[in-house]
Amino acid sequence: MGENMSNNGKSFSNWEGEAFEEMLFDYLDNGYLENIITFFEHEPEQIKLIPKMIADERLRVKVGAFAIIEEIKLKNPALLQEIVPDIIRLLKSEGKNIRGDAAYALEIIGDSSAKPALIDALSKEEDPQVKEFIEDALRSIK
């Protein structure tokens, strides 16, 4: 069978599941950022993985997620609107780093639909660093 099968003109691929996500995140953690960016360019439906990357504990995976967002923003910014709700949910994470990273990702994306959630998160946030990330996002989103 192969990686892709065709059925009535539709393409089905094996680019899903926990094992695939783990492999992709490991590649990113091992420095294969350019390859992963190319992957996302060819498989834009996988954008749903970016919020999971932001929530990952590994710094290279998080930084990779930001780089991927920046690249997509240059080439296909409308695609990023699809993940804004999932990133907004990360603003309620127990982990302060995840909340701060979510705010930073929303700042990069720059989608004004995130403003109400950022305002709400700011009113509830107790960590000064996270507050700063949220404030930066609010200032930069038009």
Residue whose structure tokens are 């720059």: 110
Residue 128 lies in a domain: yes
Q: What pLDDT does 7 receive?
A: 39
User: Domain span at residue 49?
Assistant: 16-140
Q: What is the CATH number of the domain that holds 119?
A: 1.25.10.10
Decide if 1 is inside a domain.
no
* Average pLDDT, integer, range 31-47: 93
Question: Which residues have a Cβ under 8 Å from the Cβ of 26 and sit 6 or more positions away?
Answer: none
Percent of the chain beyond pLDDT 90?
85
| Mean pLDDT along residues 73-99 | 96
- Total number of domains in the chain: 1
Q: At 9, phi and psi to the nearest 5? A: 85, -5
pLDDT tens string 5-23: 333 443 435 666 888 899 9
Is residue 27 included in any domain, yes or no? Answer: yes
DSSP states of 10-68: EEEE---SHHHHHHHHHHHHTT-HHHHHHHHHH-GGGGGGHHHHHHSS-HHHHHHHHHH
Domain presence at residue 7: no
Residue identified by tokens 């909340």 is 99
Share of the chain above pLDDT 70, in %: 89
CA-to-CA distance for 52 and 50, rounded, in angstroms? 5
What pLDDT sits at residue 15?
Answer: 63
* pLDDT, position 4: 41
Mean pLDDT of the chain: 90
52-76 per-position pLDDT tens digit: 999 999 999 999 999 999 999 999 9
Can you read off the two tokens belonging to residue 54? 């932001």
